[in-house]
């Protein structure tokens, strides 16, 4: 201070749009974004009540959406299947004609050269009890029996043309099991995205409507406790040891501390999933006129990048990429 006034003035670099743009520490690029997509059986697309703007597509209606996503320059699409019939072991997940595998085939042939076609590898969309694995005689999720299902599911998805398998079931040893199955079948080319730090979260609420799944009980015996930060990093470390090509933190917004920890340590790319509930909250507030929708979307995704997410899975991927391209 001289004469009582500041010499250091942080506001200097905030004075004009040009200065702010020049010194921005984080930039979003369309290729940083991945769009999750739901594909159902049947001939009519279905809008989702709890996720305004998001629809369950049909094998036909999804084609326009992926073309639009590719034109917007996003990095990839993450596919989820919504089957008509479910059973105890999730047979539809390994059936080459199951909805997810069919959708993967269609989408990979449409845009597989332009963006990364990736698939959710988990049983919850396909089981009648809604758990991510198969149940043992005691009614609990049987970890190792589930790994056998994941191995088969991985091969079916690789066959269908998925380039990156998103392992979201939170079973111990799932990355090593899937890697082993792929390599054993001559598919060492297929990459593994581990949903490493996946928390048992209320923010997955609208996703249940999106995949029409009802859950018996809860997922707290396999997904992480929201109270635990150190454990999130440990899960990512285990997955990298098992051969994960990419690790992920999920949900994103409420777990930016975990994302920052994983990002500071990780030797592989770190992704984050802005989940259905995060989307629904901003859309609902905006629909009520309580929040500036466009600014809130941009700020929420930028914050995930700032915390260390290299790539963000978000239901706004195409819209946001289009805005970014227009230079807004
Ligand atoms: C598991 C899976 C879920 C989500 C992505 N993969 C649901 C869950 O674990 O309960 C949630 C995504 C979202 O809420 O947007 N198949």
Residue 54: C-alpha distances to residues 35, 76, 200 (Å): 11, 17, 23
Identify the active-site residue in 198, 259, 300, 305: 198
Contact 205, 277 (CB under 8 A): yes
**Local structure of 305: helix, strand or coil:** helix
* Domains, in order of start, for the chain: 27-325 (3.20.20.70)
Beta bridge partners of 56: 38, 46
pLDDT in tens, 297-323: 999 999 999 999 999 999 999 999 999
Q: What is the pLDDT of residues 77-86, one digit of tens each?
A: 999 999 999 9
Neighbours of 10 (CB within 10 A): 7
What average pLDDT does the segment 34-44 reach? 97
> Model-level pTM?
0.96
| Cβ-based neighbours of 168, under 8 Å, separated by 6 or more | 120, 121, 122, 132, 195, 198, 250
- Note the pLDDT tens digit of each residue in 49-63: 999 999 999 999 999
Q: Is 305 a catalytic residue?
A: no
pLDDT > 70: percent of the chain: 99
Distance of alpha carbon 15 from alpha carbon 67, whole angstroms: 40
The pairing of beta strand 55-57 with beta strand 46-47: antiparallel
Q: Whose CA is nearest to atom 16 of ligand 1?
A: 122
Task: List, for residues 103-114, the tens digit of each pLDDT value.
Answer: 999 999 999 999
List the one residue out of 238, 103, 220, 83 whose CA is nearest residue 157: 103
**Ligand 1 surroundings by CB, under 6 angstroms:** 120, 122, 124-125, 168, 204, 207, 275-276
Return the residue whose CA atom lies nearest to atom 7 of ligand 1.
Answer: 204
Question: What's the pLDDT at 2?
Answer: 65
Pair 274, 281: CB distance under 8 Å: no
Alpha helices in the chain (DSSP H): 17-23, 61-72, 99-111, 143-160, 174-184, 205-210, 230-241, 256-265, 276-287, 293-307, 317-325
User: Directed axis angle between helix 61-72 and helix 99-111, to 10°?
Assistant: 40
């Amino acid at each position: 201070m001289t004469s009582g006034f500041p010499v250091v003035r942080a506001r200097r670099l905030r004075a004009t749009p040009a200065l702010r743009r020049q010194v921005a520490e984080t930039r979003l690029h369309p290729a940083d974004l991945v769009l999750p997509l739901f594909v159902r059986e049947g001939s009519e697309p279905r809008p989702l009540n709890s996720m305004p703007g998001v629809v369950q597509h049909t094998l036909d209606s999804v084609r326009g959406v992926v073309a639009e996503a590719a034109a917007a320059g996003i990095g990839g699409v993450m596919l989820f299947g919504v089957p008509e019939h479910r059973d105890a072991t999730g047979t539809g997940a390994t059936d080459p004609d199951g909805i997810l595998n069919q959708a993967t085939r269609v989408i990979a042939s449409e845009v597989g050269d332009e963006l990364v076609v990736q698939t959710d590898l988990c049983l919850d969309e396909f089981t009648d009890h809604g758990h991510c694995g198969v149940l043992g005689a005691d009614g609990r999720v049987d970890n190792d029996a589930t790994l056998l299902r994941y191995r088969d599911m991985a091969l079916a998805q690789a066959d269908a043309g998925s380039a990156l398998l998103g392992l979201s079931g939170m079973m111990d040893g799932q990355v090593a099991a899937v890697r082993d199955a792929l390599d054993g079948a001559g598919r060492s080319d297929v990459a593994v995205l581990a949903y490493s730090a996946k928390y048992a979260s209320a923010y997955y609420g609208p996703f249940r409507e999106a995949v029409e799944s009802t859950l018996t009980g809860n997922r707290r015996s396999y997904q992480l406790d929201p109270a635990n930060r150190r454990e999130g990093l440990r899960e990512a470390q285990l997955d990298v040891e098992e051969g994960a090509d990419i690790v992920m933190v999920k949900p994103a917004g409420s777990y930016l501390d975990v994302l920052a920890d994983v990002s500071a340590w990780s030797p592989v790319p770190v992704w984050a999933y802005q989940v259905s509930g995060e989307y629904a909250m901003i859309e609902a507030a905006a629909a009520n006129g309580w929040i500036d929708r466009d600014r809130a979307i941009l700020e929420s995704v930028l914050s995930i990048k700032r915390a260390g997410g290299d790539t963000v899975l978000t239901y706004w991927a195409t819209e946001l990429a289009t805005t970014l391209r227009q230079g807004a």
